[in-house]
Amino acid sequence: MSLENNTSLIDEEIIRKDESKGLHNLIYVKDLSLWHGKQQTLKNVELNIRDKGITVLLGPSGCGKTTLLKTFNRLTDLDPDIKTTGSIFFEDKDILTKNIDVYALRQKMGLLSQRPHPLPGTISDNIRYALKLKGIKSKVEQDDRIEYYIKKVALWDEVKDRLKYSANSLSIGQQQRLCLARGLAIEPRVILADEPTSALDPISSRKIEEQFQELSKEFAIVLVTHILRQAKRLADYTAFMYYGEVVEKGKPSDLFENPKTEIFKDYLQVGH
């Protein structure tokens, strides 16, 4: 099978359709299935991820949201038991094929995990490491960017006097913003956020949400959340997953007002 053909097919046909509707998509998930050994975790997932917008993934625990995110940056490679079929098209390539440069791919897909995991070292070390991975060697330039990204996540005023302190000395909410800054420092195209506020207090959560709203003007954001209200506040596009399938997807206004399936209705009910 020829990859080239597949790629252009996806891109040209669908992109033209999308754009005629005024949509700009960055990632196209096509017939994606995934197995953990014998157990199938994702089932024929079809999903488009908006560029410059927030795509929210909803669904009960264990339905495969995290797994789907991990296929986007190929963290699924870590588990030798995982098998995938189907395609994920991103920037003219199917990123599930063998010959993709995973390191370059991962630098385009910034990850924000459920709990912040600062790297060992100081606050500025955390961002410096990302910059080093990006190939920025000049110390001056690194320092400039460290300031830039810490400001970008609205953390500067809180940490400017203690950049040389251990990153673990920050509060969890501050650590999460630091991790966001670190992720932005690798200059991604996409931000994959897996329940990024679930470990945070309401005020810190709100700060992250505000960040996301701001960042969605520049990036494609895929946000997994269990908080329905957060989904409603942030989503430009929503997909509801159930047992590995994308059961419903669409604009949040349509989706939340008129759920089509009983499962999603139940989910919305329980969520309230």
Partner 1 sequence: MNFSLRYYIEKLRKSWMIISLVIILSLPFLIGISLLFKSWPLLVSTPISEIIFSSNWMPTKGNFGLWPFIFSSIVVSLLGLLIMIPFTLASAIYITQFAPNWISKVLRTVIDILAGIPSVIFGLWGIIVIVPMVSEWATSANSANASGYSILAAGIVVAVTTLPFVLNMLIELFESVPRELKESTLAMGASHWQTIKDVILKKIRPGIIAAFTLGLSKAFGETIAVLMVVGNVVQIPDSIFAAGYPLPALLANNYGEMMSIPKYDSALMLSALMLLIIVILFNYFAHKVIRFYQSKM
Catalog residues that contact ligand ATP under the rule CB under 6 A. Answer: 36, 39, 41, 59, 61-67, 79
The three-state secondary structure class of 189 is coil
Report in angstroms how near the CB of residue 61 gets to ligand ATP at its nearest: 3
Which of positions 187-246 make contact with partner 1 (CB under 8 A)? Answer: 192
Place of tokens 């959560």: 205
Q: Does 182 bind partner 1 (CB under 8 A)?
A: yes
Identify what 85 binds: partner 1, Mg ion, ligand ATP, none; CB under 5 to 8 Å per kind: none
Our finding on whether 66 is near Mg ion (CB under 5 A) is yes
State yes or no: residue 230 binds Mg ion (CB under 5 A). Answer: no
- Residue 249 binds which entry of partner 1, ligand ATP, Mg ion, none, CB below 5-8 Å type-dependent: none
**Identified binder of partner 1 from the candidate list 85, 97, 138, 168, rule CB under 8 A:** 168
Do 212 and 221 meet the contact criterion of CB atoms below 8 Å apart? yes
Give which of Mg ion, ligand ATP, partner 1, none residue 73 binds (C-beta under 5 to 8 Å, depending on kind).
Answer: partner 1
Nearer to partner 1, 200 or 247 (CB): 200
Each residue 83-122 as x (binds partner 1 by CB under 8 A) or -, in order, gives: --------------------xx-xx-xxx-xxx-x-xxx-
Long-range contacts from 158-164, C-beta under 8 angstroms, 24+ separation: 159/123, 162/123, 163/122, 163/123, 163/124, 164/122, 164/123, 164/124
| Binders of partner 1 in range 59-78 (CB under 8 A) | 73, 75, 78
User: Binding partner of residue 186 among partner 1, ligand ATP, Mg ion, none, CB under 5 to 8 Å per kind?
Assistant: partner 1
Q: How far is the CB of 13 from Mg ion (least distance, A)?
A: 33
CB 215 within 8 A of CB 154: no
* Coil/strand/helix, residue 60: coil
Contacted entry of ligand ATP, partner 1, Mg ion, none for residue 67, CB cut-off 5 to 8 Å set by kind: ligand ATP
Find the Cα–Cα–Cα–Cα dihedral 69, 73, 76, 78, rounded to 10°.
Answer: -140
CB of 16 to partner 1, least distance (A): 32
Distance CA 133, CA 137 (A): 9
Long-range CB pairs of 10-14, under 8 A, 24+ apart, other chains included: 10/87, 10/89, 11/89, 11/92, 14/48
Please say which residue, 66 or 204, places its beta carbon nearer to Mg ion. Answer: 66
- Token pair for 228: 């329905």
Residue carrying the six token digits 């709100």: 206
Task: State the Rg of the chain over Cα.
Answer: 19
